[in-house]
Chain A
Amino acid sequence: MRRVIKNLISALVALMFVNAAHAAGELHIFNWGDYTNPDLIAKFEQMYDVKVTITDYDSNETALSKVRPGGHGFDIAVPTSSHIPIWIEEGLLMQTNPNEMPNFVHVAEQWRNPDWEPGRNYSVPWTWGSTGISVNTAMYGGEINTSELFFSPPDELHGRINIVPEMNDVMNMAIMYEGGQPCTTDKEVLMRVRDTVMAAKENWKSIDYGTKEKLVSGDVAVSMNWNGYSKRAREENPDIAFGYPKQGYPLWMDNVAVLADAKNVENAKLFQNFLMDPENAAMISAFAQYANGIAGSEAYMPADLASAPEIAIPAELQSAGVFVPPCPPEAQQLYTAIWTEVQK
């Protein structure tokens, strides 16, 4: 008996230290779940003889709360454009100057000096996309480039609408629908927003993720959705189209940045540079089904991806897309109050 216990304990101790063992080169990436191409990682591992671990998160808030107190062991995180200013302001990112890296020349002009991070001293592009409307055109034949489908839907869509549970996306889309600016604290606009959303919610079937299953199976005819997921749904059901609300819709970009308390800084920098190579950026897109910010990567992408209607935004609707900044706390408080009221 005693021997058994002894053996068990030593096995456990051994097991606990397996993780702590340090290999020659390591890199610990903290990224959104189901977002990182394993082939891309294998290529990087082989090229630089580095052992990479990928750990998942499911929201910007989770990522931020985990990194903020320190001691997490990650070297790299991939915050969204709307959160990058927060990370920088709180001193969580390391200034690695990607703008001086050799591969920076491949970054497309429009992403070199984005509003959320002028000059790109911290991060390199991962992917970008839009939050819009997926419509099953076999079930609904009307105009799809309008957020009326969420906020004042025609009778035939009542009870056939899904909204993703992303408070900021929903609120900002509703604000733009009511003619306001994202992150507004204008009480008049917000009162209209509240009334609109409260009334519209009666016609929503669900507020949930899993948009693809719901659309493909016909549980819902319309869903708020991200463009890349809409493309995946279209691959299973050709009737599913993606609309860009003319009243305004959120755009976003996820960006790869090195953490201030990273242990493997050199490998992390190598990785940033590696990602700006068009061939590698194409691998990101091929897996995640979103556009990346690297010029010339289209040449290495699967043929259907670069020209997909979910990725190439029609010219007349481009101006309606807005990169939402991090909303100030006052706005956030108002939105939470409305959102709670809506779901009470």
Chain B
Amino acid sequence: MAETENTSSVLAAQSHQVAIEASRRNKIRNFRLLSMPALIVLTIGAAGPLLIMLVYSFLKAAPYGGVVWEPSIDGWFGVFLKKDIFDGTISIATAHLSILWRSVNLSIQSTLLALILGFPTAYFIATRSVQTRNLWLFLITIPFWTNLLIRTFAIMQVIRDQGIINNFLIGWGLIESPIEMLYTDFAIMLGMTYVYLPLMVLPLYASIEKLDFRLVEAAYDLYATRLRVLWRIIIPLVRPGIVAGSILVFVPSLGAYVTPRVLGGGKHLMLGNLIELQFGQGRNWPLGAALSIFLLCVVMGALLIYVRVAQRGTTEHV
């Protein structure tokens, strides 16, 4: 569809294009500079100091937290391998692998659930009248003005054994004994979905809001079914929003710390908890640093692939 549009307009555009070519090239160069302030702040306030962590991952752990300035690869060794504390044999760090797997698995589930709930919600908001849209948006964010811990405790209130859901179900005679939801992986997944839901809804909204419904109408005129319209027209057009939302939910979920601890009951570690343990009671900063650089590399690699795949096509659309 995009191609035909392009070819027809190419001829007309060409002459115009030549005329403004020079000025545009200039403008583009100026536009690039617009990223600079953000990059400077990020370099000082986030990414730059991270180099400290990179250095730390190659140093020796100090006895009581912190590092000794002696080069060592113990940190990186500990990420992948473990020396059995009893017989000294070296094997793959299965504990770390299973924690990594749990984190990835639960984060994917949360992202999917957030997408399933968030997409219709964002769509619903974007199709309200112009005056009411912002109101709906505020309604999405207002629950998140209350503190994360408090919200997590509130979720606990709802799903605990003597909580609202179970009391309700038992009260109506639907079940006899409470369904155990709190302190399970399900609770972690639910909690992360809840906590990160606005991160899905808002970017989706920003994308859907500019959706050109004439295209949708045209599709219906050609006897497309609703499902087909959703799949072939709407979703491809709002893909940037889906990409942004999924990143914003998936990546923080991977490093989540509070939710797994409070709702998961702390019986199973997630990556965020494992890293925190090394910087805290474990007193092994190099291992913590190495684990987090490893996580950073994995996420960044996955992200670049994801963005490249997800954007294939969209950039040529317009």
CA gap between A336 and B96 in the complex, in Å? 12
A344–B268 CB distance below 8 A = yes
- A124–B269 CA distance with the chains assembled, in angstroms: 37
- Residues 130-154 of B, flagged 1 when their CB comes within 8 A of A and 0 if not, give 0000000000000000000000000
CA distance A201 to B265 in the complex (A): 12
Instruction: Report yes or no: A61 in contact with B283, Cβ–Cβ below 8 A.
Output: yes
What CA separation (Å) do A327 and B88 show in the bound complex? 21
B residues near A187, Cβ cutoff 8 Å: 85-86
Q: Would you call A334 and B64 a contact (CB within 8 A)?
A: no
- Chain A residues 17 to 49 lying within 8 A of chain B, measured CB to CB, are none
Q: A344–B269 contact, CB under 8 A?
A: yes
**Tally of A interface residues using CB under 8 Å:** 39
Binary flags per residue of B251-267, CB closer than 8 Å to A gives 1, else 0 = 00000000001100111
Option from B61, B64, B160 in Cβ contact (under 8 Å) with A64 = B64
Compute how far the CA of A86 lies from the CA of B96 in the bound complex, rounded to whole angstroms.
Answer: 29
Looking at A162-170, A269-277, A290-298, the stretch in contact with chain B turns out to be: A162-170
In the complex, the answer to whether A190 meets B64 with C-beta atoms within 8 Å is no
How near does chain A come to B232, taking the closest CB pair, in angstroms?
44
CB nearest to A326 among chain B residues: B64
Report chain B residues within 8 Å CB of A190. Answer: 85-86
Partner of B261, one of A166, A208, A339: A208
Q: Name which of B31-39, B211-219, B274-282 contacts chain A.
A: B274-282
**Chain A 169-190: CB-based contact to B (< 8 A → 1; otherwise 0):** 0000000000000000001001
The yes or no answer to A329 lying at the interface (CB within 8 A) is yes
For A339, the chain B residues whose CB sits under 8 A away are 277, 282
> Does A199 reach chain B (CB closer than 8 Å)?
no
Chain A residue nearest in CB terms to B93: A340
A206 at the interface (CB under 8 A from B): yes
- Residue of B64, B85, B95, B160 near A90 (CB, 8 A) is B64
Q: Is A59 an interface residue (CB 8 A)?
A: yes
Query: When chains A and B are docked, how far (Å) is the Cα of A59 from the Cα of B282?
Result: 13
If the complex has contacts A61-B283, A191-B86, are A205 and B265 also in contact, measured as CB distance less than 8 A?
yes
A343–B65 Cα gap in the complex (Å)?
22
> Nearest chain B CB to A211's CB is how many angstroms away?
12
Q: Which residues of A contact B65 (CB under 8 A)?
A: 61, 64-65, 68
Closest chain B residue to A171 by CB distance?
Answer: B281
State which of B162, B273, B280 has its C-beta within 8 Å of the C-beta of A218: B162
Q: Would you call A336 and B64 a contact (CB within 8 A)?
A: no
Q: Which residue of A lies closest to B160 (CB)?
A: A219
Q: Give bound CA distance, A336 to B274, whole Å.
A: 10
A334 neighbours in B (Cβ, 8 Å): 85
A343 with B268, Cβ < 8 A, contacts A206-B183, A336-B277 known: yes
Question: Chain B nearest CB: distance from A179 CB in Å?
Answer: 18
Write the nearest CB–CB distance from B107 to chain A, whole angstroms.
17
Find out whether the CB atom of A208 lies under 8 angstroms from the CB atom of B61: no
Evaluate contact between A341 and B95: CB separation under 8 angstroms. Answer: yes
Contact A332 B282 (CB under 8 A): yes
Task: Given A219-B162, A343-B266, verify A337-B261 contact (CB < 8 Å).
Answer: no
Query: What would 8 A/B residue contacts be, using CB atoms closer than 8 Å?
Result: A190-B86, A205-B183, A339-B277, A340-B96, A343-B267, A344-B99, A344-B268, A344-B269
